[in-house]
Amino acid sequence: MSLLPLRAGAQDTEDEVRKVKVPTLQVGNEAYIPHSKMHLGPFRFHPFLMEMFGTDSNVFLMEKDPQSVSPMMTEAGFRFDLAQSKQLMLVGYKYRSIGYGSSKVRDNTEHEAFLDGDFKLGSFFIKLKEDYGHLYDPTPIIYDIKARREENKGRAAIGFDLNKLYIEAASESRNYHFEGDAYDRASNKQSITSGEIGYNYSKKTSLRLRFDTGSVDYNYDIQNDYTFTSFFLGFRYNVAAKLQSYLYLGSTSQSVDVKNNAQTKEYSGMSAYGSLAYMFSKKTTLSATLVREIQYNAYVNYVEVLRLQMLARYRWTPKIMVSLRLIFETATPSEKIGLATSSTKTTFGLSGRYDITRWLSGGLDFEFATKSASLDGLSFSDNKIFAYLTMHF
């Protein structure tokens, strides 16, 4: 699902946002307003580098006998921005290397590349999005053993944004390949076709009707391929940078193509996703996202996932930023088989950032996560404390 992020530079003044004209630059858990004056042809060039080190109280996410380590992480990358009038294109790359000290079995590197384009010709628009990642992080909440995976997600959309009417048609493909015996059978390909029609009551308010249909094809016959169809009724309400929000409520139906797997239970029920970003003042902002959806699973046909995420930011001084985040997740599998078990996970984070100069920042980040599972051995608690230094342009 595509969620509405906190408006670019919402923690700063609207004048600063107009000068930038492009989204914030995401480095680690922080978002910075890019200000580089380096150019390559029509593109602005934004390189960045972050070094982070700290402690992790439970690196293997074990319920008993947790192992503490002192990991170090390097994140480096760049982004090219083309922002001219109503045309916007972002192209970027990130490299991430994490070392876990004495637990070298966890050492890993990650790569991400992305393209995001939004082009307008009068009322006609074209949107292109491509994300590639070679990652090493936890799969959906129902698991917490880290797994290396390669993913490639592409989406193309065309439509019209008229005075009162909004029309969009889109096609999307997602390919996931998991490495290792524990997850390889979850590798799959997804194809999604969607359409959306909206009526704009005013510049602030609109109603939307959305339709999604698609299929999930697993690489191995032991899994059940399936198709799904979703209908959503959406509501959007935006007031410039002060408030941006939307909420889509609807239903999803899943149809399983049974192969060698005896699991035949199908899903039919409610789906929802939404977002809220509100600027209380030039110093204080609050954003929240909500998702209720079904996800693929290597043991059962589906898992119902509910996720609520909140982020509050307070700019104490022009140079000091304080952030608070809270994530609540639940997972309910269609059947209790293997590692498929009901679970609840809560994550709390607190960070402080000091902007030393326009291009250099440092900070501290604390995170506490706890998971409760109905199967013995899958619950855990984990504390992380990190210090970081970031160069961003």
Q: What is the pLDDT along the chain (393 residues), one digit of tens a residue?
A: 222 222 223 333 333 333 446 789 999 889 898 988 899 888 999 999 999 999 999 888 888 888 898 999 999 999 999 988 788 999 999 999 999 877 677 788 999 999 999 999 999 999 999 999 998 865 554 555 566 889 999 999 999 999 899 999 999 999 988 887 667 777 889 999 999 999 999 889 999 999 999 998 888 776 788 899 999 999 999 987 789 999 999 999 988 887 656 667 788 999 999 999 999 998 999 999 999 988 876 677 888 999 999 999 999 999 999 999 999 999 998 887 766 778 899 999 999 999 999 999 999 999 999 999 887 778 899 999 999 999 999
Per the structure, the count of domains in the chain is 1
Helix (H, G, I), strand (E, B) or coil at 253: strand
Strands 188-200 and 165-178: antiparallel
Can you give the CATH number for the domain in which 68 is found? 2.40.160
Which amino acid, one-letter code, is at 18?
Answer: R
Enclosing domain of residue 356: 14-392
**Residues 236-265: tens digit of each pLDDT:** 999 877 899 999 999 999 888 876 566 677
For residue 140, what are the contacts with CB-CB under 8 A and spacing of at least 6?
295, 297, 303, 305, 331
Helix locations, the chain, DSSP H? 14-20
Q: Report residue 361 as tokens.
A: 């920042």
For 8, 24, 31, 172, the CA distances from 281, given in Å and listed in that order, are: 15, 19, 18, 38
Is there a domain that residue 54 lies in?
Answer: yes
Which pLDDT value is given to residue 187? Answer: 85
Half-sphere exposure of 206 (CA within 13 A, CB side): 23
Is there a domain that residue 359 lies in?
Answer: yes
Which pLDDT value is given to residue 368? Answer: 97
Q: Is 210:250 a contact under the CB 8 Å cutoff?
A: yes
Which pLDDT value is given to residue 1? Answer: 26
Q: What are 331's strand-pairing partners?
A: 305, 343
Is there a domain that residue 6 lies in?
Answer: no
Q: Is 23:46 a contact under the CB 8 Å cutoff?
A: no
Is there a domain that residue 1 lies in?
Answer: no
Strands of 100-224, DSSP E: 108-121, 124-138, 146-161, 165-178, 188-200, 205-218
Which amino acid, one-letter code, is at 209?
Answer: L
Is there a domain that residue 4 lies in?
Answer: no
How large is the greatest C-alpha to C-alpha distance in the chain, in angstroms?
Answer: 62
Is there a domain that residue 65 lies in?
Answer: yes
Strands 43-56 and 39-40: antiparallel
Q: From CA 113, how far away is CA 387, in angstroms rounded?
A: 26
Query: Is 189 exposed, middle or buried, given 0-12, 13-18 or 19+ CB atoms closer than 10 A?
Result: middle
Is there a domain that residue 379 lies in?
Answer: yes
Residue entry with tokens 């390909």: 189
Which pLDDT value is given to residue 342? Answer: 87
For residue 81, what are the contacts with CB-CB under 8 A and spacing of at least 6?
22, 34, 43, 44, 46, 88, 89, 90
Q: DSSP assignment, residue 203?
A: S
Summary count for the chain: helices (H), strands (E): 1, 21
Which pLDDT value is given to residue 175? Answer: 94
Q: From CA 300, how far away is CA 289, in angstroms rounded?
A: 27
Q: DSSP assignment, residue 357?
A: S
Which pLDDT value is given to residue 338? Answer: 65
Q: Report residue 321 as tokens.
A: 């930023």
Is there a domain that residue 386 lies in?
Answer: yes
Which pLDDT value is given to residue 146? Answer: 61
Q: DSSP assignment, residue 186?
A: G
Which pLDDT value is given to residue 8? Answer: 29
